[in-house]
Amino acid sequence: MLVSNLQVKLPIHETFQSTVQGEGFWTGTLVDFIRLAGCPVGCPWCDTGYANGGQGLPSVPRSIAQLLAELQSSRVVISGGEPFIHQNLLEELVRALLATDKQVSIETSGAYWQEVSPLAWITLSPKEHISPKYPVKELFWTRANEIKLVVSTGEEVDFYRKYFVDDVNIPVYLQPEWEKRDRAIPIILELLKQHPSYRLSLQTHKLIGVQ
Ligand code: SF4
């Protein structure tokens, strides 16, 4: 494995340690988060504040060495913003984390592609249905380790079924849009009857009141 340049700097939105992964396959796992700054996709319900491009949000250059020094958990989630907009830098960060024996998860809308280590777990949460200018790069449909669809109306499932089928061999999670969860959860329960291999994902961290 090539040695990473630990002095390389990435624009950081925020980091936090020893929290619980609240979504998808690794729900309940103790993790650290590295949120990279910036995302052009513009989802109206963005948890991180990038609904309108993110003007005024934090973007602090920090070196990989600084990021490694504060880690506490064995799994690190690289999130955003959209991590894959950071060409070469993301790959460098992943390599450095793996070199220190961390497990790595990356959360992405799939709108930007770059090669990262096959050891990194990729959560694909496509946003093409609300931001058609940002379609999923085709390679993600075979590279992703899990698919997470944020459900508001239930139409999201039909929208993406041209890309994957019920017997896709990775887990598919249906997660209610938080602000519309009272309406979306019953819709998801009906969808699970039609697609029994899919699973419900709740934002556990919000339910238990942690970051
Ligand atoms: S893709 Fe993710 S980070 Fe970007 S606006 Fe949508 S929810 Fe926010």
CATH (residue range 9-149): 3.20.20.70
Give the span between the Cα atoms of 31 and 35, in whole angstroms: 13
Task: Give residue limits of the domains in the chain.
Answer: 9-149
Assess whether the C-beta atom of 38 lies below 6 angstroms from ligand 1: no
| pTM of structure | 0.96
Assess whether the C-beta atom of 46 lies below 6 angstroms from ligand 1: yes
Assess whether the C-beta atom of 110 lies below 6 angstroms from ligand 1: no
pLDDT tens, per residue, the chain with 211 residues: 556 799 999 999 999 999 999 999 999 999 999 999 999 999 998 989 999 888 899 999 999 999 999 999 999 999 999 999 999 999 999 999 999 999 999 999 999 999 999 999 999 999 999 999 999 999 999 999 999 999 999 999 999 988 877 667 899 999 999 999 999 999 999 999 999 999 999 999 999 999 8
Atom 3 of ligand 1 has which residue's CA nearest to it? 81
Ligand 1 centre to CA of 2 (Å) is 31
Calculate the CA dihedral of residues 127, 129, 135, 139 and round it to 10 degrees. 70
